[in-house]
Each structure stands twice: as C-alpha cells, then as structure tokens.
Structure 1
Amino acid sequence: MTLSSDVLQYHRRVLTSAAVRAGYAHTCRYDEPAARREIARMTGVVMSVCGPGRGPNTPTMLVEALHRPIAQIAPELFADSGMGSLTVLDGGELSDDVYAEGCEDIVELLSGGVDPARRWLPTWAWMHGELVEREAFQQINEGASEEEYTAHRYFVVKQPAGGERELAELFSQAVGMRKSVRYVPIPADQVFRGKFWWPCPVCQWPMHVDGSQVRCRFPLHNAAYFVRDHSAKGRPLLQRRDGGVPRQPAARSLHREGPKRSMCVETAVWRHIVISGVSEICLFERLEALKERGVEVELWPGKDRYDLLVRVPATGWELRIDVKDYGCAVSLADRLRRKPPAARTIVIPDYRGEAQRDELVELLPNLTVLLVSEVLKAAKAEARKAGWR
C-alpha cells in the first residue's frame, strides 16, 4: 500500500523524533536510570513506523543504526527528503546534525502529559519549535506591548549568555520589564577545564568543548577551533580549524556562584529562538542601514505575526517577510503547508543557497521565495526608483 504524502511526512517526523530521543538517551545511559528504558520505548516506535520485519528490532540494533544516516532505517520515508542524511550519533555523543537539522522535525510522540521521559529529556528532544517559542514567551507577553515584546525578543537573541547580574541589568535597561525567558548555568560540556567558556562569534551562545576542540553546535555558523598550547594573561586562546587568521572569540571566565554566575538560555531557546533570530535581526539591521535612502523596516510586527515589514513609501512598495533557516526544504515546505504563514514572501539565508531556494519555489508555488541578498537588492532598486542613490 502506498502512503499518502501527509502520512509519509508524519511517519518521517515520528521516526526522526524517536531517533533523536533514543540518541540522547544513549548518551546519558550511565547517568539516567530511565535512559535504557527510553531506548527500548523508542525502538518500539521505530518498529511501528517501519512495519513488521523491517528496520532495527532491538535497542542494540537501533543504537547501531543511529551511527549511520537514518534513511538507512526506512529508505522509503526519506526518498524525497534531505533529512535522510541525518546521523544522530557520532561516537559517544550526539552529532551536530541533531542540533542543526534533527530539531526541525521533532514532534510530540506522546501527548496529554503521559510521557514519562519529559522528567529528564531536554525540551528540544520532545517539543517542536513553535511550542518552545510559545512557552518561552507566554508569561512575558501577557500584558506586554508590541514594543516590549520586540525589545524582549531582540534582547534574548543578542544576549543569550553572560553573567547573571549583568544580564539582569542589561535586560532592565533594554526592555524595562521584570520577566525574561529562563537562563540556566552554562552546561559542563560548554566549559573548558571548568574555568572558561567561549561565545560563538555568530550567535553568542557558549560553544561546545570536546577536549582541545571548541565549536558552535550549529555547523553553518562556521565556528570551529582548536585550543592553542599557549595562552594570553592566563586565558586560553583559540585557533580556527581551517587555519584562518581572523580574530578569534576571547575566553570568558566561568563563575559558578554569586552575582557573576555564568548563565545562558536553554538549548531549546537557543535552537528555536536565537538561531532563527540571528538571521532575522541581521536582515533587519542591513535594511535599517538603508533608512537614509527612504527604506523603512519594522521587526516582528504584531508580536511576531511575521518577521519583517519592509516599505519604500515614496513608491508604495511593501514586502511582508518570514525568514526561515531550515536544513531540509521538504520539511520546511511541509511545515508551511500545515500552517500557512501570514507573510507571503519566504526569505532564506544566502548560505542555504540557490539550490534550496529553487527547490522551495517548486514545492511552494503560492509563495515567493527569496535569498537575503535578493531582498536587499530589491529594496535598493525601489530606493533608486524613488530618486535615492
């Protein structure tokens, strides 16, 4: 029997979610008593999706399969999706693919508060991005004005980590509200020798530390380093893996207690709010730089009804934009079909490339799909029409 497109996509999301959960459970199987039970439960989910006699049918077989692209578990589910290249486990830890792409297809496998693993699984492993965003801002948004909402979201993207008192003071100055999204102590795997941490130069979130290697978990930020043998004033220095010479981020001291305690937003907030926000704010700031040429831009209008409203009043040109940064065009198109965006123009970062743009154009014929550079080019062209140079 041939599955419909919707059923096929749902099964793919379920299998991806089960694989990610099993992979995380495998990484903490010696510390979390319920981890092995979770791997067994997710094996059952995978078996249900694959059908009788197909796919891994024991927890050991599933863990082994997670070290290879998940398309090998159920090739028919990933025939039209790049998500099949996702490898969940890399040695004894989760691969960066999980944070970069696997998080995009997470769905709730058990609803109604009956999922026993929610006690210890991180939220990003069972909660899809829209739910992460809604829960993160729900309490803050109650009674907040549109300006307060924008200022708060902008702050979280720009300041995802820092000292506890410093963050509180900056938040009070920038936003003028008391409530903020939750910040937690920087996790041990993002700390070097218990003393230092480094912010990613793109997203500013603490980078992952593995021995003498340091990297942002989001590969497209292209932030991967070695720790040098020598130091500066007692602080370790970084060197890019590719041998480049641009200035590297400076090490920051880790404080475990007191007003300087080192804090960061939770992984789910980083992945679903900060990562996307970096692209949104970058485009906003580049468009705002065209203000003197008659271009007006508004960030997250209507409390993020969509991402950007761009106007050139002199010509009457207007563009409502949703910025999307997805690794898999099929997954993004599926999500947009299930929940049509308020904006009719989808914009993707240039690093996603013309190939993904063209694929999305074909998948989403009722929407306009542009690269960031194409939006900037269009805004400048309208400014010239209005007589600005």
Structure 2
Amino acid sequence: MTDQEARERVMKAAARAVPAFTAGDGEPTKRLQTLMDAHGEILAARGPAHPLTFSGFLDSLTGDLAGLLPAGVEPEELEGVHLIDPDGYPADELFDITYEQQMVLDAVRHKTRRDGSPPTIEELDGELDQVIVNEVLRQTGRQGDYVNGRRSLSTVPSGTEEEITELGLPARIFQFYKPIDHAALFEQWWFACPFCRWPMKVTVHGRPGERMGRVRCLYPAHAETLGAHYMFSIPEVGAPPVLLPMLDVPRLSAEAKVLAPEVRGEIPVAVPAAGHWALKRGPWRYTTVPGLTEIALFEVLRERGVQVHLWPDLDSYDIRAVPVTPSGEKVEFRIDIKDFTSGFLLGEKIRRDKGDKGGAKWIVVPDYRHTQLPYLRGVCDEYGLRVATATVMGKMICETAGVRWV
C-alpha cells in the first residue's frame, strides 16, 4: 500500500467512525459495529507491523488525524486535522470530507452507468442537495437564468423571506432555504459571517456565572484565516450579545486583497431569528463558498478590461477568460475553481473524471488551499491540466493582457 493509499484509507475510515463515536443517542449495537469496521480499515492501512488497539483507536479519534497513520507515512495535509472538536462534537471539516467522498463516489456511479451495469444502493443514496440545486438552475437551458440564480445563491445565502423571494429563484430552490438553525442561535439571536453572510455557529462555554459565548463561521478558512471568530459575554435576558474579535488575524498582502477585501472592522451584529432564512449547509458549502472566489475573480478581470465569461455553457467550468495581448493576440484560459477541504479527494475525483469533464484546462484553488498545489500538480500533469491559486491565476491573465493586477 502506498503512502497516498494509506492516507486516504485512514481519512475515510475516521470520517465514518466519528459520527458513531460522538452520537450519544444512536443505537449502541450499530454504533459499535461501525466503530469496529472503521478500526479494521485503520489496521489494514497500518499493516501488521503497526498494531493499534481498539481503545487506542478510539482515543486517537479525538486527536490529530495524522496520529492514525503508520510510522513512516508522511501525514501531508492530514497533519493538524481534527474531526472531533474540543466540545466532543463532530468538527466542521467532517462535513466537507464526507461530502467530498460522496462526490468521488458520484463520479464512479456515472462511470458505472455508462458501462451498462446498475448503480449500488449506496451510490443511489448519494444524490445530494447540491446536485438538485444545479439541475434546477439548468432547467430553462438559458445561460442568463443559470448565472443569475447561481450568483444569487452565492451572494444571498441568508436573509428575510422578502429578500429571498425577491431573488426570483425557481420555486424548487426555496426548499433549500430553512429557518435559522438552532446551532446558530443564542436565544433568539444569530450572526451572519462578514465574508459569506451565512449564519455562524454559536456555542457557550464555562460554569454558571462564568459562561462566555463563542461565534465562528463553519467554514474554517473564514474563521481561522480571515477572522470570522468572535466571543461575547452573556448579556441580560432578552438583550442581544455584542461580539468581540477572538483572533489577531495577519493582514493579507496587497495582491491577495484583490480577491479577498479585508472586513476587519466589520463586527457582525446580532439579528433576531424571526422571519429570517438561510440555505441548507450543502448548497451553502458547495455553491455559496466557492461562488465567492469565482465571482470575485470574474469581477476583477472584467473591471480590468479582460473579456471574461462566468459559468459558461451552464457551468461546464467556472470561468472563460480571453485576454488580448498588447500585440493583439487572443489567449484563452478555461478555469475550474475547486474548493475541496481534502486535496486527496480532489485528486481522486480528477482521476475518476480522467481530467476535467467540463473541458477546463486550469484547476484553480482559493489562496488558502495553496498547500494542495504540489500534490495536485502530480495528478493534473497526467491529464494535461495546469494548477494555480486564484491570485496567481488572476495575475497571470492580467499580465497576458498587459494590465495591472494591483
């Protein structure tokens, strides 16, 4: 087994085990069987030279995911990943990894259908909200309808019923807007992330009389890299909490701020939950979050005079840019922006698709995923794809057009 196979096997087994380990109200026999199956997968990844007891496996689930790897296997991006948070609940990254595993299975399912054999029950169960959202947006077959709908979901993931109705989205899309989830509430109050405008997670810690509240965006890059992570003192009953920044976030470089303008002074204020709605987590994570990078790159290039198209051919890929060089030559860039928590699963999806099935020539990741590039280059070279961060991609297109990025 290669190092890469060991990392992937450990990640998938741990992701399957965590819900069973943390679910106190689940059926005990089924939970135990799930944990034992996952332990078996970990042992297979570690090999006979690196045994791990069942109790040791359970202890390791609460720590760094890299600790489950056999000695000698480089952890790479598994290092520092925790699937259980300090409060004993599944961590935010678990949702991403589970969803991304399903995207890989979905690629396998479509291949199986082309081969003529039927999909499995597990694969049929993998139809996710995000797939339905995209299909509904494509139904009219009109590019303008698709772009307007996709842009609305990216820029207005929460709001009042009136604000959401005014978006003019297809009726079936409204099933994906729900009242503010209880996990984002402190009494009747909620807070929108200053970057993605989706309800942030609220937790309260400490003993009675010493309790403090914590608010953070469920998207780790917004919470940890950009600073959407706050604390508050417990207010008088009925009064809104007032947030204070919890992290001293390093300032972005001038080049990085082109796509991610700073909102350091914009402290979210408490909003009453009554009458407010928000997207379900799947469409938010896989439409709103990547859409922010896609729209930002599109807008910046358009402002600089580059001919650019957003989600061409009903989202065959994300951006088609055609800068004209100072000598008059047109150069085409076909870009697919991928925001996967796991670079390994993104690489596996590219392999399953045998490249980019929409016809993109560039795989672009947000700047905060830059550590994925070395691995992705190795995967993409096989299929004639090139990789870059969003800022590097934007700079390259601007340089081709002879215009300034900053």
TM-score interval for Structure 1 and Structure 2 normalised by the shorter chain: 0.7 to 0.9
Helix, strand or coil at the partner of 2:332: strand
- The match for 1:226 is 231
Change in Cα spacing, 1:46 to 1:279, as seen in structure 2 (3 Å) is farther
Rate the CA distance shift 1:137–1:356 in 2: closer, same or farther, 3 A: closer
Q: 2: distance between equivalents of 1:374 and 1:71?
A: 30
Alignment pair present for 1:247 and 2:266: yes
Pair 1:191 & 2:202 matched:
no
Aligned equivalents of 1:101 and 1:114: distance in 2?
Answer: 17
Pick one of 236, 241, 259 that aligns with 2:241: 236
The answer to whether the 8 A contact 1:346-1:368 is kept is yes
1:28 shift after superposition? 3.4
Match of 1:268 among 276, 282, 285: 282
Moved beyond 4 Å, runs of 4+: 11-15, 52-58, 99-103, 106-111, 228-231
- CA deviation after TM superposition for structure 1 residue 234, in Å: 4.5
Q: Is the 8 A contact 1:12 1:77 kept in 2?
A: no
Q: What residue in structure 2 maps to residue 122 of structure 1? A: none
Contact 2:97 2:341 in 1 (8 A): yes
User: What SS does the corresponding residue of 1:179 show, helix, strand or coil?
Assistant: helix
Query: CA separation of 1:65/1:94 partners in 2, compared to 1, >3 Å: closer, same or farther?
Result: same
Write the mapping of 1:22-171 to structure 2, written as runs, cut at 5 A.
22-30=17-25, 33-34=26-27, 37-48=30-41, 50-51=43-44, 58=54, 62-75=57-70, 79=74, 81-83=76-78, 85-91=80-86, 92-99=88-95, 103-106=99-102, 112-113=120-121, 127=126, 131-167=128-164, 169-171=165-167
The separation in 1 between residues aligned to 2:17 and 2:282, in whole angstroms, is 17
Residues in 2 aligned to 1:44 and 1:267: alpha-carbon distance in whole angstroms: 28
Residue 90 of structure 1 aligns to a residue in which SS? coil
Shift of the 304–319 alpha-carbon distance from structure 1 to 2, 3 Å rule, reads same
- Contact 1:215/1:224 (CA < 8 Å) preserved in 2? yes
Structure 2 gaps, min length 5 = 110-118, 205-212, 250-263
Q: Is contact 1:23-1:89 (8 Å) kept?
A: yes
Which one of 369, 373, 398 corresponds to residue 352 of structure 1? 369
Deviation of 1:55 after TM superposition, in Å, equals 6.2
CA distance in 2, matches of 1:278, 1:39: 41
Residue pair 2:141, 2:314 contacting (<8 A) in 1 also = no
Structure 1: 5+ residue stretches without partners = 119-126
In structure 1, distance between residues paired with 2:51 and 2:139? 46
- Aligned equivalent of 2:115: none
Shift of 1:226: 0.8
Match of 1:121?
none
Matches of 1:186 and 1:351 in 2, distance apart? 28
Cα distance, 1:28–1:45 mapped onto 2, change above 3 Å: closer
Q: Cα offset for 1:84?
A: 5.3
| Structure 2 residue aligned with 1:379 | 397
Name the aligned partner's letter for residue 190 of structure 1. A
Q: Does the 8 Å CA contact 2:298/2:308 hold for their aligned counterparts? A: yes
State whether residues 10 and 41 of structure 2, in contact with CA within 8 Å, keep that contact through their aligned partners in structure 1: no
1:213-262 superposed Cα distances (whole Å, 9 cap, x missing partner): 0001222113100125679x94322111125761212221111xxxx2x3
1:123 corresponds to which residue? none
Partners of 2:151 and 2:193 in 1: CA distance: 17
Query: Structure 2 counterpart of 1:75, which letter?
Result: P
Letter in 2 for 1:200: C
State the 1:205 CA deviation.
1.2
Match of 1:206 in 2: 199
Whichever residue aligns with residue 167 of structure 2, its letter is F
Give the RMSD, CA atoms, in angstroms: 3.5
> Whole-Å Cα distance in 2 between the matches of residues 77 and 276 of structure 1?
35
How many residues are paired up? 352
Determine helix, strand or coil for the equivalent of 1:303: helix
The residue type paired with residue 215 of structure 1 is R
Q: Residues of 1 paired with 2:216 and 2:319: CA distance?
A: 30
Residue matched to 1:217: 218
Give the TM-score normalised by structure 2: 0.74
The one-letter code of the counterpart of 1:96 is D
**SS of equivalent to 1:306:** coil
Question: TM-score normalised to the size of structure 1?
Answer: 0.77
Is the alpha carbon distance of 1:135 and 1:46 closer, same or farther for their aligned partners in structure 2, counting shifts above 3 Å? farther
Contact 2:323 2:331 in 1 (8 A): yes
Q: Residue type of the partner of 1:69?
A: D
8 Å CA contact 1:183, 1:263 repeated in 2:
yes
Q: CA deviation at 1:48?
A: 4.0
CA shift, 1:97, in A, is: 3.3
